[in-house]
A and B are shown apart, each in its own frame.
Chain A
Amino acid sequence: MNVDVNAIFQIAGIGIIIAMIHTVLKQMGKEDMAHWVTVIGFVVVLFMVVNLLDSLFKEIKTIFLFQ
Chain B
Amino acid sequence: MLKLLGAMLILLAFTLFGFYQAHQFARRPKQIAELIRSIQRLETEITYGFTPLPQALLKVAEACPPPVGALFRNAAEALAKDGCRSVQQIWQEAIHNQWQHTSMKKGEQDIIRQLGFTLGLSDSTDQVKHLRLAIQQLQGEMDGAQEDRKRYESMWRSLGLLMGALLVILMY
Chain A contact residues, CB within 8 Å of chain B: 6, 10, 13-14, 17-18, 20-21, 24-25, 27-30, 41, 44
Contacts and interface: CB of A to CB of B under 8 A. Distances in A.
Interface residues of B, number: 12
Interface of B is mostly: helix
A29 B151 contact: yes
Contact of B151 (A6, A18, A20, A28): A28
Interface in B9-62: none
Contacts of A29: 151
A44 B170 contact: yes
Interface of B: 151-152, 155, 158-159, 162-163, 165-166, 169-170, 172
B152 A28 contact: yes
B155 A14 contact: no
A14 B169 contact: yes
Contacts of B172: 6, 10
A10 B162 contact: no
A17 B162 contact: yes
Contacts of B158: 20, 24
